[in-house]
Structure 1
Amino acid sequence: MSHLKQIYESLQGILQNGLQIAAKRLDQTTWQGLEEFLNEIRIIIRLQHANLVRLLGCCVNRKEQILVYEYMPNRSLDYVLSDRERGASLSWFMRRHIINGIAQGLDYLHNHAPEGLIIIHRDMKLSNILLDSENNPKISDFGIARKFCLNGTEPYVTHPVGTPGYMAPEYIHGDLTPKYDVFSFGVLVLEIISGRRVRSPIFNQHGRSIHLLTYAWNIWSNRRYNELLDPYLRVEFQEELTRQIQIALLCVQKNPGDRPDMHEVTMWLSNNGLGLSEPQEPAYLNVPLGYNDDFVTARPDLEAGIIELQ
């Protein structure tokens, strides 16, 4: 597996009008990320939604390539959940709010983007979910996103790029549809509920190392739902936890045709009266850790050190 080198610096600063901003500067020692940089501008410049990070401006010339965004004071969901104390501060109510916001943002990308476009993010993960001062989630990093028209041909990928653990199994064959993002969303929901990382080993009663999808499926199959819950959380209504797990497992089913679309997901999340089908086995069930590492170019997390922007 090949790895991309760090291609961005993360920066923050204050404009003359007092507005606090965040920025990404392309590493000038490599042109490896220029295509992603330009792709991000082309896609996000068209988009406006409460759950997408807002692009305020950009600089593109021979000396500098910088993207300027609204500042997210609570950083990323990955940052929050990577620390026990910070994770414990994120209540069940707030995690449910974050899940709903991510779903709304994806529904917009897949079904309500301007000019009849369908946008597949392709890199939904904890570090790409930013949080504002009220922990409203904002989907960020559109560097490898793909767009196509509603009546156009769905994109085919010859060289998969993404983050192992979040990639749908059909991607190995080059198939790319909005159901790819649905799969990644399901993984995110399981991570948010459990406080665990999808690729962190979990040891079962036999001492065998398994990953989060297998762990969640075993819990679902044995109806021991509370075992998946982050130990720092308390849920008043068991049915609510069960429903969130069920929605996540419906999203990570192996066959993309069995997965819901994001409009269905947003309806399920907003209306507990809507019935849900029984999920089928998830992708990568009982597959050892490290699955899908061998066929994909991994993208680095861009949680770089903060540099003052002058």
Structure 2
Amino acid sequence: MPYVTVVDKDGEPFVETSPKGRYGRYPELLGVGAAKKVYRAFDQEDGIEVAWNQVRLGMFEGDEKMLKRTFNEVKLLREMSDENILECYNFWVDKEHNTLNFITEVCTSGSLRDYRKKHRNVSMIAMKRWLRQILRGVEYLHTHEPCVIHRDLNCSNVFINGNVGQVKIGDFGLSAAVDKSHKARSVIGTPEFMAPELFEEDYTEMVDIYSFGLCVLELVTSEIPYSECDTMLKVYKKVSSGLGPQAMTKVKDTEVKDFIEKCIAKPRARPSASELLKDPFFEGLDDED
């Protein structure tokens, strides 16, 4: 029974509970997207904190594509199981309030972008550990049957449990499952992280490798790529003409620079996630990390 307050004189009250009463939502927001709000919640059966994702379906009235995309995120999440992919536990539609609700695991330290901003002094070894985990998640998506292209990979859609350094890819609202050709055509994503061929509406999963390369750049420089551009049109012009982000000039470590350049090379020259995981860039990291 949604939108009821569970009163407990010693406990924190829920502002909403799931239809069967297992999950309770608190008022505290963990994140806000264009169409989705993510709240802190509690799984009373397992006794763990979770994230309650709530999408107001009224926002998509008359927009069947966006509605389909929203349900696509939940469907994809429910199908996937990997330690570097955010897990979805349950979902339901609240017809009375016209919302889609889905419960995912919660990462205690929020997005990797916010975590990096909070902690300015991070060693390259620590960043390589995070990056390797992102790549493992990307490898899982790209070798999934069918292949899944995330299409919006960036540090705000990667989450971290800072106490153990565990990283997970989330926010699959713009993802696409593709057939054996691995071709997709919709222009979609965060412009600063979008591969040039994505704008041309003819691309494969290699767009995620490009975006991953710019995640490396953001972590190393603490700067969002193309932040020198003050409009999305300027970003598009630079990306589509093959001009790299200005932040590349701030990367002094040649090993790091070479690795980023491999990722953002022309589509056919980009290594796969599996190939990148074997790159000398990750040598020296323990397998347990």
**TM > 0.5:** yes
User: TM-score category by the smaller chain?
Assistant: 0.7 to 0.9
- Deviation string, structure 1 residues 187-212 (Cα, Å, up to 9, x no partner): 1111111111113229xxxxxxx999
Aligned to 2:131: 99
Alpha-carbon distance, 1:89 to partner? 4.8
1:46 aligns with 2:79: yes
Alpha-carbon distance, 1:167 to partner? 0.8
Q: Secondary structure at the match of 1:69?
A: strand
**Which runs of no fewer than 5 residues in structure 1 stay unpaired?**
203-209, 220-226, 230-240, 273-310
Aligned to 1:206: none
Alignment partner for residue 154 of structure 1, among 182, 186, 191? 182
Aligned to 1:121: 150
Partner Cα distance (1:270, 1:105) in 2: 16
TM-score of the aligned structures, taking structure 1 as reference length: 0.69
1:26 aligns with 2:37: no
Letter of the 2:183 partner, please give it: P
Aligned to 1:167: 194
- Deviation string, structure 1 residues 214-239 (Cα, Å, up to 9, x no partner): 4355x4xxxxxxx426xxxxxxxxxx
Give the conservation status (yes or no) of the 8 Å contact 2:40–2:49.
yes
Q: Secondary structure at the match of 2:191?
A: coil
Aligned to 2:251: 228
Equivalences, count: 232
Aligned to 2:4: none
Partner Cα distance (2:216, 2:267) in 1: 17
Aligned to 2:101: 66
Give the conservation status (yes or no) of the 8 Å contact 1:74–1:131.
yes
Against the structure 1 CA distance between its residues 179 and 29, is the aligned structure 2 distance closer, same or farther, given a 3 Å change threshold? Answer: same
Letter of the 1:93 partner, please give it: I
Partner Cα distance (1:214, 1:40) in 2: 30
Q: Secondary structure at the match of 1:213?
A: coil
Alpha-carbon distance, 1:23 to partner? 1.8
Against the structure 1 CA distance between its residues 137 and 213, is the aligned structure 2 distance closer, same or farther, given a 3 Å change threshold? Answer: farther
Aligned to 1:302: none
Partner Cα distance (2:208, 2:152) in 1: 8
Partner Cα distance (2:220, 2:244) in 1: 13
Letter of the 1:24 partner, please give it: N
Alpha-carbon distance, 1:245 to partner? 2.3
Aligned to 2:246: 215
1:122-137 matches, within 5 Å, as 122-132=151-161, 133-137=163-167
Give the conservation status (yes or no) of the 8 Å contact 1:26–1:34.
no
Partner Cα distance (1:78, 1:174) in 2: 28
The alignment's C-alpha RMSD in Å is 2.3
Give the conservation status (yes or no) of the 8 Å contact 2:42–2:48.
yes
1:201 aligns with 2:201: no
Q: Secondary structure at the match of 2:260?
A: helix
Higher relative CO (CA 8 A, sep ≥ 6), structure 1 or 2? 1
Aligned to 2:43: 15
TM-score of the aligned structures, taking structure 2 as reference length: 0.73
Give the conservation status (yes or no) of the 8 Å contact 1:74–1:135.
no
1:256 aligns with 2:287: no
